[in-house]
Amino acid sequence: MGDSTRKLKVAVISPTEVGFEGEGESVVVPAYDGLLGILYGHAPLMTLLGTGEVTVTDGETVHRIAVSGGFLQIVDNEVSVLARRVGECSSEGSGTKDAV
Amino acid sequence: MAKARDIGRRMRSVESTRKITRTMEMVATSKLRRAQLRVRQARPFAERVAAVVENLVTPELTDLEPLLRQPGRIRRAAVILVTSNRGLCGAFNVNLMRKARELLAELQASDVDAEFHVIGKKGISYFRFRNVAMASTRTDIGDDPSPDMARGLIDPLADRFVREELDAVYVVHAEFRSVMSTPPITRRLLPVYVPQERPTREPYYILDPSADEILARLLPLHLVSSMYRALVENVAAEQGARRTAMKSATDNADEFLTTLRRQFNRARQQEITSQLAEIIGGAEALKG
């Protein structure tokens, strides 16, 4: 299941910035009522965002993007995080899995 | 025939004007690049949010969510006109103001009480001169608009829409299609467009929380991002229009300089010829 065809397309954007755009095997998103983990094959979903970190894991690489407010849409294995604001995380923006 | 010295003076004047227009062209080009980046960022966001809103909105929800209110008859409307603070950008502002006047006339013709909000010095001075009443004016939105500025513009109007003091909000701004094409357009921000036909909501989304709760949070974001997009597009369009205007001014100066140079050389030649004729004439006279 680790082949690259089974990856999520992830975009984390705000009106002024692109926080992240790329692929990932799993994504953790701060939804309005708690963290939400997303893997390949997730059902189409729309939900509101809270404040926190979006974590995109792709193999050994982990990208973390701070978001606040907005909206999440999952359709056809495309994860769109439309945040009111995005920013760098105070901890390393991208690192290895061990660093999490 | 003009004296060579006079033509020379004109040439210097045209040359210095050309220097200014050329510089402005280059400044506009670099500002345009930054503005285009912002448009490229703001556009997909606004479009995606708008698409989601359109997908979620149903006629039944319009009674639940005050921002989705669909007034039966529009009695009071607000028109926001976005213009630039600076001139020297061709017909850019004139086109915008004409569009706004058309909209105002149209609203008045259908008996709508329209209030007029103007952004940008150019629009303000034009409508002040024409004695058009303006509900508010703003000049602090420069080359670098922020979503917070957009929020500051649209939030008070949205609040009044919710309180039923306003029935519609329109924005007139320039759309940035390309550097050469920046037509003025009118967008209706409120009431939010509700498709009458129920969209085939495919795929079937899991909605968490329910559609009306999502909309309650998403609609303000939708309004702000639409307004922000209008501001950003307007800045890019302004710089594009200025670059085009200044490019043609520079080209004209070049053309003018060629003509002047030709005249200058002819006048100089003529002066030399007549001076020679005088010298030769004088020498002949002395001989005799």
Alpha-carbon distance B174 to B186, whole Å? 9
Using the 8-state DSSP alphabet, how is residue B136 labeled?
A: E
CA proximity to B81, closest of B234, B274, B237: B234
Alpha-carbon distance B161 to B25, whole Å? 42
pLDDT tens profile B183-230: 999 999 989 887 776 656 556 788 888 888 888 889 999 999 999 999
Answer whether residue A93 shows pLDDT above 50. no
Say if residues B230 and B171 touch (Cβ distance below 8 Å). Answer: yes
pTM, two decimals, is: 0.86
Query: How far from B221 is each of A58, A65, A88, B276, CA to CA, in Å?
Result: 30, 20, 21, 81
Answer whether residue A94 shows pLDDT above 60. no
Domains B4-22+246-283 and B31-244 belong to one CATH topology: no
Q: Do A15 and B203 touch (CB under 8 A)?
A: no
Query: What confidence score (pLDDT) does residue B199 get?
Result: 57
B226 touches chain A (CB under 8 A): no
Using the 8-state DSSP alphabet, how is residue B198 labeled?
A: P
Percent of chain B with pLDDT over 90: 73
Looking at CATH, the fold of the domain delimited by A4-91 is given as: ATP Synthase; domain 1 (2.60.15)
Q: B121 Cβ partners below 8 Å, 6+ apart?
A: B83, B84, B85, B86, B139
pLDDT average, residue stretch A40-55: 92
Chain A CB contacts of B228 below 8 Å: 15
> Domain map of chain B by residue range?
4-22+246-283, 31-244
Task: Please give the CATH superfamily to which domain B31-244 belongs.
Answer: ATP synthase, F1 complex, gamma subunit (3.40.1380.10)
Q: Is the ipTM of this complex over 0.85?
A: no
B148: its two tokens: 């917070």
Answer whether residue B134 shows pLDDT above 70. yes
Say if residues B118 and B81 touch (Cβ distance below 8 Å). Answer: yes
Query: What confidence score (pLDDT) does residue B64 get?
Result: 80
Q: Name the residue of chain B whose CA is nearest to A70's CA.
A: B218
Q: CATH code for B4-22+246-283?
A: 1.10.287
pLDDT tens profile B2-12: 688 899 999 99
Answer whether residue A90 shows pLDDT above 80. no
